Amino acid sequence: DAKTTQPNSMESNEEEPVHLPCNHSTISGTDYIHWYRQLPSQGPEYVIHGLTSNVNNRMASLAIAEDRKSSTLILHRATLRDAAVYYCILRPSNSNSGYALNFGKGTSLLVTP
Amino acid sequence: DSGVTQTPKHLITATGQRVTLRCSPRSGDLSVYWYQQSLDQGLQFLIQYYNGEERAKGNILERFSAQQFPDLHSELNLSSLELGDSALYFCASSVGWEGAYEQYFGPGTRLTVT
């Protein structure tokens, strides 16, 4: 599976935008880019995913580089509730071995008031 | 609330024992995944079922087994428990199994083996 690289930690002020980067230089043309987050003492939570085009939903935006070798998760106004570990995960659109999520270490986001 | 339910929330048992964890997927989801999260290993994929059939296996020990029933709920059976099996166990579900589908996670079962 193609790997992703994320910073270990990031810090943001409350009510400011947050840009969480992810590098995936070995991504294949059929890999979807997924983002999940895990708040303290909770299960992972789906955030957003995309293939080639930028995506927006009520939680966040996903900006995908033109060459697809990197992507950025954008939280438009961070709140204290956004403090979590954010995982960038590649998932193949076709696989004979299933489509489990391969969680790495993610980025631990700290939001300060 | 993701719509995925897991029972029990907490489980304390002794070494050598056997336990069963239960998961009910979101309505309409056919695929169920089991993950283990321990302090030193992070989130690890165990096994996946799709519409009653095993679809993929990850780092699942031979002492562990799972199944998905006709009503699509799933059970994870852990036997001959060891101290190192203490962890959070999460179930997730998705509509399909391809990469285009997102997974929704339950709140987890915290297993403590003493």
From residue B74, give the alpha-carbon distance in Å to each of A2, A37, A47, A109, B92: 29, 24, 24, 33, 10
Could you tell me which residues are beta bridge partners of residue B64?
Answer: B78
**Min Cα separation A54/chain B (Å):** 15
pLDDT in tens, chain B (114 residues): 889 999 999 999 999 999 999 999 999 999 999 999 998 778 999 999 999 999 889 989 999 999 999 999 999 999 999 999 999 999 999 998 777 889 999 999 999 999
Given this model, what pLDDT does residue B41 score?
A: 77
**Cα–Cα distances in Å, from A93 out to A27, A29, A75?**
12, 9, 26
Provide, as residue numbers in chain A, all residues whose Cβ is less than 8 Å from the Cβ of B103: 36, 44, 46, 101
**Which of B13, B34, B9, B35 minimizes the C-alpha distance to B81?**
B13
Confidence bin at A13 (pLDDT 50/70/90) = very high
Q: Looking at the complex, does the CB of residue B55 fall below 8 Å from at least one CB of chain A?
A: yes
pLDDT range class, residue A1, cuts 50, 70, 90: low
Cα(A18)–Cα(A11) distance, integer angstroms: 9
Interface contact flag, B98 A99, Cβ < 8 Å: yes
SS3 call for B70: coil
Question: Three-class SS of residue A77?
Answer: coil
- pLDDT, tens only, A91-108: 887 666 567 788 889 999
Nearest neighbour of A100 by CB, restricted to B58, B101, B107: B58
CB contact under 8 A, A30 and B108: no
Note whether B1 contacts A: Cβ–Cβ < 8 A: no
Least confident span in A13-17, A25-29, A45-49 = A25-29
Least confident of A9-13, A53-57, B56-60: B56-60
- C-alpha angle B95-A26-A71 in degrees, rounded to nearest 5: 65
CA distance A16 to chain B (A): 26
- What the block records as the tokens of B48 is 């996946």
Identify the bridge partners of residue B10 per DSSP, sorted by sequence position: B110
